Amino acid sequence: MTKAVSKPVSNPLSQEAREALRKAFGSRVQFDVPLAPWSAARLGGPADALLEVPSVKDLGSTAMWLWEHDMPFRVLGGGSNVLIADEGVDGVVLLNRAREARFFEVKGQPAVWAASGASFGALARRAVAKGLDGLTWAIGIPGTVGGAVVGNAGAFGGDVATSLLWADVLFPNGRVVRLDARGLGLGYRTSALKTGWLSGVVLAAAFRLHPADPEKLKARVAEINEQRRRSQPPGASLGSIFKNPPGEYAGRLIEMAGLKGTRAGGVMISPQHANFFINLGNGTAMDYAHLMCLVRRTVWQRLGVLLEPEIQLIGRWPEDVLSCLFDPLPVEPPALLLGGVAPPPEE
């Protein structure tokens, strides 16, 4: 007998909550808005409610109002490291458009402060334009400063943990606490905020910089851009899907397992880099889950390595899917998840 995938657990906003949002935020709040336009992979179902926050002050005051009214919410930045369920997201989604940034000095050394909704890659490019190194590794990284802090983003030998001075985090009790890398529990592509050990909202962050030779910086940027062009596929994707295991690369393992080019519905494992999944135009979030589940199971069975997702799944996901992708021990994936998966084309 085929095992059916369980229905997602849903706790949508009540009509009373919707009325309270309308009264508090007026025309700023939208209801039942598809989130695909704000996803880097161009997919995702509707949010019960969507609120755009244009500044750090507005982000903080809106988060406090939602906490005080016991309304579930989450902050969405660049949408580059999150997989939004086709069934949508319970509660309120705050679209973070707080993009302020300024350069300053700490004990005579250059630094940069940025609101959590600022583009992290653009911030790195601004630093390079000023002849300042420290974030050059982040050139080309998608997403926002807040997302980079929560996920301890990294590339080309650098990461947030080694560059961060502090992050200002708002907590439900109304306190804003300035935390360094240790206080945030930053680890490889994770943090205490990502795992849920801390429950707060990143308002802004500051990063250490240092002067550098402009020509050397220019050469380094060109080198990074060329490496990205050669190794990372174009198209709508969420970036790296799985974390690299210690001493290994997830993409290499997926390729060794013979999965490059495999498709599920409208999503394909990139033939260029196997740790990138590309939305071919008609993909769904469940197509991504199909492939992630297949990859995790196949790599475990063939190579004895259990891959851990780097991206976050948000919204109304069936428990079967979450179990398949996040359980510490491999489980037999739901039968439905392995249906509709096409093998890679023959060479």
- As annotated, the active-site residues are 189, 240, 310
Yes or no: say if 339 and 111 are a contact pair by the CB < 8 Å rule.
no
Yes or no: say if 69 and 20 are a contact pair by the CB < 8 Å rule.
yes
For residue 23, what are the contacts with CB-CB under 8 A and spacing of at least 6? none
Question: What is the number of other CB atoms lying within 10 angstroms of the CB of residue 227?
Answer: 13
Radius of gyration of the chain (CA): 21
Q: What angle do CA 45, 267, 44 make, to 5 degrees?
A: 10
Largest CA distance in the chain: 69
- How far from each other are the two terminal CA atoms of the chain, in whole angstroms? 36
Q: What angle do CA 205, 210, 215 make, to 5 degrees?
A: 125
The helix or strand, by DSSP H or E, that contains position 15, with its residue range, turns out to be helix 15-25
Yes or no: say if 168 and 202 are a contact pair by the CB < 8 Å rule.
yes
Torsion from C-alpha of 125, 218, 240, 284, nearest 10 degrees: 60
Q: Could you tell me which residues are beta bridge partners of residue 278?
A: 237, 268
Q: Could you tell me which residues are beta bridge partners of residue 102?
A: 113
CA 56/CA 54 separation, integer angstroms: 7
